[in-house]
């Protein structure tokens, strides 16, 4: 089994200690997950391209931007210039011009991902799935942290794994939402390859971030041990 990768959700970190926390996570994590919300696609508003440009100055890891925005095209060039490595809009926002958006992301030298809301089927992306570097399965409805896990998403993860293996696709299968002690085992078994960890999965485990990371890894290994 491939080693699980972990992507801390930076909207859940202590932003007053950003530099210190990033330096700690640089030696432990695999990606940084940056949520950008516009107050329209979802009601919340979080991080920004300006945050990405500051993160880039201290990051040793790929910066993965999740665009919860009604018009993702408005952000692509600025995010690429700010230092984003992955740019991942929602399928619900790009399907009228998906090929143009994906080509634009790749044209700026970034990797292209797509995010699927819980009620959005894989069928929506079938004609461009082969172009994707990452597919993120939302296991909660997007916009706010701390929501309950939607178990029906396990079948979506399994289907993505089967499609990847059958067709030789290269996308990473990522999960966003309620990745924690209660779900580590079932997400791993379903075929997840990257887990986005936020408050419940990482940051609330201990006020000392290295201890929180160690606790998370101990929990993950205990839950997924065979």
What domains sit in the chain, N to C, each tagged with a CATH number?
Answer: 5-204 (3.20.20.70)
pTM of this structure: 0.94
Using only C-alpha atoms, what is the Rg of the chain? 16
Q: Is 208 a catalytic residue?
A: no
Q: Phi/psi at 195 (nearest 5 deg)?
A: -110, 125
CA atoms lying within 13 Å on the CB side of residue 32: 30
Query: Which residue from 205, 207, 202, 175 is spatially nearest to 188, judged by alpha carbons?
Result: 175
How far apart CA 198 and CA 193 sit, in angstroms, is 16
Residue 53 assigned as binding residue: no
Render pLDDT for 28-83 as a digit per residue (tens, 0 to 9): 999 999 999 764 445 565 767 889 999 999 999 999 999 988 889 999 999 999 99
Q: Is 133 a catalytic residue?
A: no
Q: Which residues contact 53 (CB under 8 A, 6 or more apart)?
A: 82, 83
How far apart CA 98 and CA 108 sit, in angstroms, is 16
Residue 176 assigned as binding residue: yes
Q: Phi/psi at 120 (nearest 5 deg)?
A: -90, 120
* Residue whose structure tokens are 């984003």: 84
The single residue of 30, 38, 85, 176 carrying the catalytic annotation is 176
Query: Which residue from 226, 177, 133 is spatially nearest to 33, judged by alpha carbons?
Result: 177
Render pLDDT for 201-226 as a digit per residue (tens, 0 to 9): 999 999 999 999 999 999 999 999 97
The single residue of 30, 35, 64, 85 carrying the catalytic annotation is 35
Residue 146 assigned as binding residue: yes
How far apart CA 168 and CA 165 sit, in angstroms, is 5
Residue 199 assigned as binding residue: yes
- Do residues 166 and 206 touch, judged by C-beta distance below 8 A? no
**SS3 state of residue 38:** strand
Query: Are β-strands 111-116 and 86-89 bridged in parallel, bridged antiparallel, or unpaired?
Result: parallel
> Residue 144's pLDDT band (boundaries 50, 70, 90)?
low
Q: Which residues contact 226 (CB under 8 A, 6 or more apart)?
A: none
Residue 14 assigned as binding residue: no
Q: What is the mean pLDDT of the chain?
A: 93
Sheet architecture: strand order including 63-68: 5-8, 194-197, 172-176, 134-138, 111-116, 86-89, 63-68, 32-37
Q: Is residue 112 scored above 80 in pLDDT?
A: yes
> Residue 147's pLDDT band (boundaries 50, 70, 90)?
confident
CB atoms within 10 A of CB 210: 12
């Amino acid at each position: 089994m491939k080693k699980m990768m972990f992507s801390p959700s930076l909207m859940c970190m202590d932003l007053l200690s950003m530099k210190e926390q990033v330096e700690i996570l640089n030696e432990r994590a695999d990606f940084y997950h940056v949520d950008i919300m516009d107050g329209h696609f979802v009601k919340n508003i979080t991080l920004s391209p300006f945050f990405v440009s500051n993160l880039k100055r201290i990051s040793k890891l790929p910066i993965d931007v999740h665009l919860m925005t009604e018009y993702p095209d408005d952000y692509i060039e600025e995010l690429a210039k700010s230092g984003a490595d992955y740019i991942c809009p929602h399928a619900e926002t790009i399907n009228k011009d998906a090929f143009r958006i994906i080509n634009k992301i790749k044209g700026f030298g970034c990797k292209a991902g797509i995010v699927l809301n819980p009620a959005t089927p894989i069928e929506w992306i079938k004609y461009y799935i082969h172009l994707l570097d990452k597919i993120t399965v939302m296991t909660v409805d997007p916009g706010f942290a701390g929501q309950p896990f939607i178990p029906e998403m396990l079948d979506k993860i399994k289907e993505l794994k089967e499609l990847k293996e059958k067709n030789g696709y290269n996308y990473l299968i990522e999960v966003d939402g309620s990745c924690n002690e209660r779900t580590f085992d079932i997400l791993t078994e379903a075929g997840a390859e990257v887990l986005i960890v936020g408050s419940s999965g990482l940051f609330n485990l201990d006020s000392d971030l290295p201890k929180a990371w160690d606790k998370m890894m101990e929990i993950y290994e205990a839950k997924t041990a065979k």
